[in-house]
């Protein structure tokens, strides 16, 4: 099982392709707080609910000083369809080889209906402006997660 990150850890840098096939680097977000959330699969019910919650909270989060990046193992073309279908207004990044998820402790053993397998663990990491982890949450619930995150960050709204 990969090591999970904890507050105070330096966030592993990464560069991934977004839904338009362009490179997006975490380094470009230095100087701002960034919510990086890992979700298992675009266009599935839970992931759609979570993405739409981030979409609907984005203006509030940006006003509070936070950017949002969504990362999944989906290929770029699937991310593009997902973003278009749901009107998503923040970058979705493709981590097809799950190297970034592994670096963030968001890839590992999952259990479903009694069977174990390797997969993406729904997780959210908040990175401060200086590049260190301020919040690390693993095995989060898709429904209500953004509201809980806002409470955890002590953001009113």
DSSP code of residue 91 = -
- Joined tokens for residue 80: 């593009």
Q: Element (H or E) spanning 150, and its range?
A: helix 145-152
- Joined tokens for residue 143: 């429904």
- Joined tokens for residue 149: 């995150």
Gap between the Cα atoms of 117 and 132, Å rounded: 30
Alpha carbon separation from 120 to 37, 138, 139, 157 (Å, rounded): 11, 10, 10, 30
Q: Which runs of consecutive H residues, i.e. helices, occur in 31-75?
A: 45-63
Active-site choice (47, 83, 133, 149): 47
Residue 47 falls in the annotated catalytic set: yes
Closest CA to 157 of 16, 43, 147: 147
Q: Give the catalytic positions in this structure.
A: 47
């Amino acid at each position: 099982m990969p090591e999970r990150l904890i507050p105070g850890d330096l966030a592993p840098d990464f560069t991934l392709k977004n839904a338009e096939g362009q490179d997006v680097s975490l380094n470009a977000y230095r100087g701002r707080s960034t919510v990086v959330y890992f979700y298992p699969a675009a266009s599935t019910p839970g992931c759609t609910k979570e993405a739409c919650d981030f979409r609907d909270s984005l203006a509030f989060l940006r006003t509070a000083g936070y950017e949002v990046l969504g990362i999944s193992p989906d290929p770029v073309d699937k991310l593009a369809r997902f973003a278009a279908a749901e009107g998503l207004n923040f970058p979705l990044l493709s981590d097809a080889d799950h190297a970034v998820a592994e670096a963030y402790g968001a890839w590992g053993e999952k259990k479903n209906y009694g069977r174990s397998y390797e997969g993406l663990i729904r997780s959210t990491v908040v990175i401060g402006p200086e590049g260190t982890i301020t919040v690390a949450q693993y095995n989060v619930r898709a429904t209500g997660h953004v509201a809980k995150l806002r409470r955890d960050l002590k953001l009113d709204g």
